[in-house]
Structure 1
């Protein structure tokens, strides 16, 4: 038997490792290595002032989770309508953003919108009312939901169960990278970003590329406008990386990705 050089052996092992990467997860991501969803919560002015212009400048689409009662919705309705017409998703973040005030550190929760005091019927009614509002803005019936504060339950019961038929999926707040088969469409993982360097976010994208998984970013303020903030320049660096690698990364609104996951899981 001929001796194999160390270099050839290393090359052979490298090829073996590449071929061992699960390939079944690629097709569902629009035939790319992974999917990245950029989500922005709470319908704040900064979405229209900073975020949408930044996305449009590199022709990427995002998902904006809208609180129907936000003054920004009422005051800038035409701009939200234009954003939706341009391909951005207006997702549902509930009519009044109710959070569970019984949780630690939630003294700021308004008594009127304390999820722990809600009935499931009230929560469902308000979320459906927000869907009607959003349809009046964008004319669409298909969209996704995001849990305010990541709260899933009322009285120990998952309130989203009653809403499954209303949405293609619901975004949660637990960080994680998952294949299409692993994604729970009732509670889609996401990474909440606050004052993170671009390298941190880009490394998450690279990991998603390597593992052929879904990566969801959860932003609030970009360059101000919210108590949970990300630096505008760091956000721009992330967008530039995504744009530079768009042949390998599917960047799409949550509604498109959730629909593809649902189709893949239903096979």
Structure 2
């Protein structure tokens, strides 16, 4: 009887390997070898972040980004809780010291004269953001973090003030909705979906769209279960977290700073031809 040679055996094993076995050898994808990336962000440092959101995230071992306003009374009153959140892997992002918004725009009657970005100088805006970074570092001891534009406002007198802040941050989150592949993400103005009253089915469907397109999806929450005029029900938020946890093999869920660092490294390698 003629037995196959070792070379022939090797070829036979490769040809008869199961599809699942061959799939395990595929090249890693851009999102930590997962279908897409999802970032959960929560603005304004409100009590519901500490009372509802962080316990919900911790219960399913997911991590988010909390954009803190330095002057928020909830930061001062509950500083040890924010520190513990950072220790558990949540990002404390920078949402400016005073949360200034452009009061010259339509629908901005809520903007006070003291916090009107249109009356700021560039140096004042930059200085207040940097002061907030000092406060955040005192809370979590970290130097790498991301920024979120208050009200999504990026300009003062036609000048993009974040240009001076790029060395201080890994990236900045904006408020324009959209899914983006890694190569198209603008680290100075990352897209996000502002959530206000949508259902859990809507939130999950956004994730499914990101999975199909291999894109980055950023959620922008304010109130969760109350505490803010922009709000999502606890049940809808819980449905989203359950879906993300159930599909964590396929979805990379991480704080904005970690995802932005991955994007920055990938874009840098691409631009250098590596």
TM-score (norm 1): 0.90
1:108 Cα offset (Å): 1.0
In the alignment, structure 1 residue 138 sits paired with structure 2 residue 140: yes
Deviations 1:100-153 (A, max 9, x none): 000001011010010000000000000000000000000000000000000010
Work out the CA distance in 2 between the residues paired with 1:83 and 1:108: 30
Q: How does 1:164-243 map to 2 (within 5 A)?
A: 164-243=166-245
1-structure distance, mates of 2:210, 2:190:
15
- 3-state SS, counterpart of residue 181 of structure 1: helix
Counterparts of residues 42-191 of structure 1 (less than 5 Å): 42-191=44-193
Question: What's the secondary structure of 2:99's corresponding residue?
Answer: coil
CA distance in 2: counterparts of 1:30 and 1:141, whole angstroms? 23
Q: Please report the RMSD computed on the Cα atoms of aligned residues, expressed in angstroms.
A: 1.0
1:18 match: none
Q: Tell me the secondary structure at the aligned position of residue 72 of structure 1.
A: helix
Q: Secondary structure at the match of 2:82?
A: helix
CA distance in 2 between counterparts of 1:237 and 1:178 reads 23
Q: How many pairs are equivalent?
A: 244
Deviation at residue 27 of structure 1 after TM alignment:
2.1
Residue 8 of structure 1 is matched in structure 2 by: none
Q: Distance between the aligned counterparts of 1:176 and 1:167, measured in 2?
A: 22
Structure 1 gap segments, 5+ residues each: 1-22
In 2, distance between residues paired with 1:108 and 1:140?
33
1:12 maps to none
Correspondence for 1:261: 263
Unaligned runs of 5+ in 2: 1-25, 270-274
Aligned to 1:245: 247
Measured after TM superposition, the shift of residue 65 of structure 1 is 0.2
Larger of the two Rg values belongs to structure: 2
Displacement of 1:156 in angstroms is 0.3
2:8 equivalent in structure 1: none
Measured in 2, the distance between the counterparts of 1:266 and 1:115 equals 33
Moved over 2 A (4+): none
Alpha-carbon distance, 1:49 to partner? 0.1
Structure 1 equivalent of residue 13 of structure 2: none
